[in-house]
Structure 1
Amino acid sequence: MNALNSEAFVLFGQHILWSDMIGNILGLAALALGWRRNLWSWPVQFASGLILFGAFYGHLTGSAGKQAVVMTVALYGWWQWNRSRGEGTDGHITPRFATWRERGAMTAAAAAGTVAVALLFKAYPSLSWDPWPDAYIFVGTVVAMYAQARGMVEFWIAWLLVDLVGVPLNFANGYAFSGFVYVIYGALVLWGMRDWWLRSRQGPRPALEGAPA
């Protein structure tokens, strides 16, 4: 991991780390696969989280915690999307809008979770240099990936809200490649959200791409 955390090159005066670059390229691939509702989005996301956890650990606790969440929910998402194949849907992941009750529950959980995690970080300053942004990123990631695993179109919106804080935080703390990549994420999220929104209004869906036979 020490080799991965070494400098790869300098871009616009920003020092790019191998781990930051590789982890985020895998993250982009996972997002593109998720857009296509491809089952392999989840193992690629797990690999991205593992590499970025090593990059952030000891420097940005909230971002490192975010990657721990990414890995955990990636396992849940793999199980959830696989399970749909065993229920007679032939691997269909059917994008849908969350109900108002689900939206309210996720919003309340995000707000309460952010406050709770931020207070934890403030009580133990060694855990985080930026308690509130770190807490926001950590909890927002939980909500976004849960919504993705459940096939909710709103997961794209949740990712955009997380990135609004994550981009400047990464630049400010020297993880420039993460900042550059999240700009690309923004465009992919908008296109992906449109695709899932259109699919949620259609009839029967084709089988999940990339699913094992």
Structure 2
Amino acid sequence: MFEYFFAQYREYPTFDIVLEIVAVIFGLLSVWYAKKDNILVFPTGIVSTLIYVYLLWKWTLWGDMMINGYYFVMSIYGLYHWTRKKGDVVAFPISRATKKELIIGIGIFSATFIFVALIYHFFNKFTNWYSYVDTFLTGIFFVGMWLMAKRKIENWILWIIGDIISIPLYFAKGVTFTSFQYLVFTIIAIFGYLEWKKTLDSKKQIS
């Protein structure tokens, strides 16, 4: 069993394995803080994404590298957005996406999908099945991160879909620790959605 899941790590430098584990830990912390609607989601996410950008660049997994680079930028934006206040009140609390935001989300997905597909085609990276899945997955995660930075509950739905797809995907890519991370991500994302929905429902009752 151990050989089946971790045999590929024999060829990895010890430093890279340690970095991946550290990135996984900070990634899990980030999703946990997101579930709790805690601003620490962004500092922990920044650490995780920076490490993954480096590792994924080494592994020539460019679609995943772009996702994490985008996460880094959006984490900085989210950190600013979540700290904005009107007096003593948070300016942008948990809410549902408007029709306009959903249309923008579709636009982000489409633009990302096309861009990544062109990059993969240009560098002749469509050499296996998961390269095609990457183009779709990148679009999902780009929109999910954008919605999370804007504190929209719909972000959890996209995370759940993307995380479920990522479990077998990363295992096939030979990064088992990251695959396990996405399994935990899926569970936390489900509870994150339920927790944010509970917050929204309680606000409705008060109003």
TM range (shorter): 0.7 to 0.9
Shift of 1:151: 0.8
Partner of 1:139: 139
User: Structure 1 stretch 184-193 or stretch 133-142: which is displaced more?
Assistant: 133-142
Q: Is the 8 A contact 2:126 2:132 kept in 1?
A: no
- TM-score with structure 1 setting the length: 0.81
Deviations 1:41-94 (A, max 9, x none): 1011000001111221132111111111111111110111112x2x22434652
Measure the CA separation in 1 of the matches of 2:154 and 2:73: 20
Deviation at 1:181, TM superposition (A): 1.4
Unaligned runs of 5+ in 2: 10-16
Shift of residue 170 of structure 1? 0.8
CA displacement at 1:135 relative to structure 2: 2.3
The yes-or-no answer on 1:65 pairing with 2:89 is no
Q: How far off is 1:109 after superposition?
A: 2.7
What is the one-letter code of the residue matched to 2:145?
M
Which segments of 5 or more consecutive residues in structure 1 lack a partner in the other structure? 1-9, 205-213
Match of 1:185 in 2: 185
Matched with 2:117 is 118
How much has 1:125 moved relative to structure 2? Answer: 1.9
Aligned letter for 1:148?
M
Q: Structure 1 residues 11 and 37 mapped into 2: Cα distance closer, same or farther (>3 Å)? A: farther
Name the amino acid aligned to 1:74.
S
Distance 1:155 1:128 in 2: 31
Structure 1 distance, partners of 2:3, 2:75, is 31
Instruction: Give secondary structure in 1 for the equivalent of 2:151.
Output: coil
Question: 1:41/1:11 Cα in 2 relative to 1: closer, same or farther (>3 Å)?
Answer: farther
Q: The residue matched to 2:202 in structure 1 has which SS?
A: coil
Matches of 1:137 and 1:88, distance apart in 2: 39
- Structure 1 distance, partners of 2:127, 2:87, is 46
Indicate the structure with greater helix content.
2
Contact 2:63 2:116 in 1 (8 A): no
Query: What is the aligned-residue RMSD (CA, Å)?
Result: 2.3
TM-score normalised by L of structure 2 = 0.83
Give the superposition deviation at 1:123. 1.9
